[in-house]
Structure formats: structure tokens, C-alpha cells
Structure 1
């Protein structure tokens, strides 16, 4: 069974102690690491953490969060909607394909929780996508830019695997897939 100590050893080999805010490991081997918002070289750190933690025996879902300051009065009287969030996520373009993550069909599930945390379950076009961490971070950042959002939780899944059938009908026409 995966232990917190095993995960801590890996994380501390990649990130200085002062940037590690929390490490959690549940009974299913799911790992959550929370880093300081000012962690240097965050893109490289995210990729390295996912890669190295993923090598541990018994690891499940890996979530790496960044600490976020809550501004006074933030989120009061703001009505978050799925439509608003999806519109913002259309600004996140997969650089290899040239389409946004919504019309590409990468967003599988979107939920706004009562505390205004936004949960997104999404996928990549391939499990080996070299831009996975960049796209996940871009989705998180875009959600966190929306006034009223308390936090963003992004879950990566490959079940079901992505296929071109998941592209929106509008974009299938533009791409000549109809």
C-alpha cells in the first residue's frame, strides 16, 4: 500500500520544502499535493511530479494543486453557470490540434459545487500527449480567472478514450469530418 512517506520523499526530491503546502494520500492510493502559488518553474515541476509519483507502486489518481489567495468579497453575489465556464474554457486551445478543449470534446464533466469550487473531468486526445500538464494548468487557470470561483479541481481520465467523434458538430463541419 502506498504511504505518505513514499510520496513525500519523491515530492521533496523535486520541490523545496518551503513550496510544499500539503501532501495527502488516501486509502485507494490517490495522491493530492498542494504547492505554494509562487512555486518556481511550475510547469516543469508539475510534469516531474506526475511522472515521478506515477512510478510509485499502488498510486491512483494524482492531483497537484496550487495554493490560491482568496480576495476579500470575492464570489459574493456572483452567479456561476456551466455555460459561463464552458465559454471561458473555449479560450484554451490545444496547440497541437488548434481547437479549443470544449469543441474538441475533451471536457467530459463540469460541476459547480455549492462552495463555488468548479470540478472538471477531462481527457486528452492521447494518453501520451506531451502537453497534458500545460493544458490541465491552462484549464485550471482559466477557471480561476472567473470572478466568484473559489477553487478548481481538474481530474484527468482516459475512460472513455477520446476519439474524433467527440468533436462538436459545428467543428466537425469546419474540419470536413461530415
Structure 2
């Protein structure tokens, strides 16, 4: 089982200690790291952290968060709906394919919790997608742009694996898959 000390050592080798807000390791080896909002070169840091932590023995799920700006009173009367969130997520385009994450069929589950935290379970087109961290961050950022959203939780899964069958009918026609 991975220890907090092992994870801490790896995290500090990747990012300056002043940008580390918290590091947690639970009894299943799941790792949670929270970084400061102003962490420089955040995209590369996220990718490198995920890669380096993943090399440790006994690591479960790896979650890397960025510190949130506290929203006060913003959008408290806004009615969040799945449709509203999915429309916003259509702004996240997979740069390699040129189709948004919704029409690609990458969004498996979306829930709006009573405290207005939005939970998304999603996948990538391949487990080795080099843009995984970028796409996950873009999904989180788009959700957090919606007035009334308190927080976003993004879970990455590869079960079931993505296939072209998951592309929306409209985009299957555009791609000539029908």
C-alpha cells in the first residue's frame, strides 16, 4: 500500500511546495492532491503528477484538484439541469477528433447533487489518450463557469471502454458512420 510520505515525496519533486495545498491517501491507496489556483504551468504539472504518482506501488484512484475560489451568493436561484450542463459541455472539443465530449459519447453519467455540486463520470476514446488531463480539466472548468454550480467532481473510467458506437447519431451521419 502506498504511503502519504511516498506520495508527498513524488509531488514535491514535480511541483514547488508552496503550491501544494493538501495531499491525502486513504486506506485503499486512493490519492488526492490539491494544488493552488495559481500553480504555474498547471497543464504540464497535472500530466506529470498523474504519471509520476501512477508509478508508485499500491496506488488506487488518483485525483488532482485545484484550489477553488469561494463563490458567495452567485447564482443561488439558478435552476441547474442536466440539459444546461450538457449544452455547456458541448463547448469541450476533443482537439484530435474535432467533436465535443457529449456527441462523442464520453459522458457516461451526470448528477446534480443537492448542494449544487455536479458529478460527471466520463471516459476517453483510448486509455492512453495524451490529452486526458487537458480534457478532464476543460470539462471541470466549463461546469464551474455555470452560475449556481458549487463544485465539480469528474471521475474518469474505462468501464465500459469507449467505442465509435457511442457517438451521437447526428455525428455518426456527419462522419459517414451510418
TM-score, length-scaled by structure 2: 0.97
* 3-state SS of paired residue (2:120): strand
Q: Deviations over 1:101-139 (max 9, x none)?
A: 000000111111111111111111011111111111111
Residue 168 (str. 1) matches residue 146 (str. 2): no
The question of whether the paired residues in 1 share the 8 Å contact of 2:106 and 2:162 is answered with yes
Alpha-carbon contact 1:106-1:162 (below 8 Å) kept: yes
- 1:23-172 aligned within 5 A: 23-172=23-172
1:74-101 deviations in whole A, cap 9, x for unaligned? 2411111111000000000001011000
CA distance in 2, matches of 1:64, 1:75: 26
Q: Is the 8 A contact 2:71 2:150 kept in 1?
A: no
Q: Which residue of 2 aligns with 1:5?
A: 5
1:75 and 1:150 in contact (8 A); partners too: no
> For structure 2, which runs of at least 5 residues remain unmatched after alignment?
none
- CA deviation string 1:48-85 (max 9, x = no partner): 00000000111111111111112321241111111100
**TM-score, structure 1 normalization:** 0.97
Question: How many angstroms apart in 1 are the aligned matches of 2:151 and 2:48?
Answer: 23
Unaligned runs of 5+ in 1: none
Contact map agreement 1:89 1:143 (CA 8 A) in 2: yes
RMSD: 0.9
**By how many angstroms is 1:27 displaced?**
1.1
